[in-house]
Structure 1
Amino acid sequence: MQSYEERLTAPRSWWVIAGLIGVACALMLLPLGTLPMLGGLIGGAALAAVAVSSYGSVRIRVVGDALIAGDARIPVSALGEARVLDPEEAVAWRTHKADTRAFMLLRSYVRTAVRVEITDPEDPTPYAYLSTREPERLVAALAAVRA
């Protein structure tokens, strides 16, 4: 049984921006003195880093007989066809082709994705859209669990 795990980390540029937010907070507090400026630098950078880290900590896993994507846990028996989406298709499925009932694990900085049909008649969700950097591996892991 092939397992799969991926963490959708935030890009490096977001960490640079978090540092720049700290600098901006420091500059805003500069007229109040050195200690408030240092507090603004540390506090602003820390809060921005926490935000970037939490947004970039989402995981996609195929464990046992379940697909775990963020907070969702979907049994593989409730999944239909999994399709790799190239960057153009991924943009289409997260914009004009998107269904409002779909489960979307969307990260705009990840260009490729997988679209997995949900076949459970009890679930109104038609499909799951999963941003992934390794769509072929994810589809192969799902196929291996089904076999």
Structure 2
Amino acid sequence: MDVMNPYRERLLPPLSVFIACALLVPATLLVFLPINSTVGVVMAVVFYAAAIVLLVLTSPVLTIDDEGFTAGRARLYAHEIGEAEGFTGADATRERGPRLDARAWTLFRGWVRPVVKISLTDLDDPAPYWLVSTRRPDEVVRRLEALRRRTPGR
């Protein structure tokens, strides 16, 4: 991995979620049109735009750089990262469900099925591992392993 080429992934919802938000338009119109048609149209546009902005701004970002791994607002420094393993399909569902340790730190998004499981080297950390949704589990694992190999003291 190279300083000039950090990994970055925003866990945005799929297009279908943005389209479903369009249902706010007729719902808002139903409420406001009897009061005032201009206010109804303006409020419908404002509510739809606010929903879209909220979905984008609250979508967590995953980054891997020379210092470590960030998932949303949480950070693992390079020396804290243990082995990483990616899961897809039924294996990912089992990792998020029956095999999930209640002490694990998680960042899931329902619209992103694959996950990466990252063990931690800090024995004082109460979480045994992190489990994070990602659309590219193989890429995340590859980059985390490259970061681990480059970290001094391993």
Question: Shared fold by TM > 0.5?
Answer: yes
* Alignment match of 1:112 (pick from 111, 114, 125): 114
TM-score (norm 2): 0.87
2:33 corresponds to 1:27: no
**Would you say the 8 A contact 2:66–2:78 is kept in 1?**
no
Q: Distance in 2 between matches of 1:98 and 1:46?
A: 36
Give 1:3-42 correspondences, 5 Å limit.
Answer: 3-42=6-45
**Would you say the 8 A contact 2:25–2:44 is kept in 1?**
yes
State the Cα deviation string for residues 30-55 of structure 1 (Å, max 9, x = none).
11121221132122212211221123
**Would you say the 8 A contact 1:14–1:52 is kept in 2?**
no
Q: Distance in 2 between matches of 1:5 and 1:47?
A: 25
Q: What 5-or-longer segments of structure 1 have no aligned partner?
A: none
Task: Tell me how many residue pairs correspond in the alignment.
Answer: 146
Q: Distance in 1 between matches of 2:17 and 2:58?
A: 11
**Would you say the 8 A contact 1:59–1:69 is kept in 2?**
yes
Which structure 1 residue ranges, 4+ long, deviate > 4 Å from structure 2?
none
Give the aligned residue type for 1:18: C
State the percentage of identical aligned residues. Answer: 32
Q: What 5-or-longer segments of structure 2 have no aligned partner?
A: 150-154
Give the aligned residue type for 1:100: A
Q: Distance in 1 between matches of 2:101 and 2:40?
A: 47
TM-score (norm 1): 0.91
Match in the other structure for 2:72? 70
Match in the other structure for 2:152? none
Q: CA deviation at 1:70?
A: 0.7
Q: Secondary structure at the match of 1:50?
A: helix
Q: Secondary structure at the match of 1:32?
A: coil
Give the aligned residue type for 2:121: T
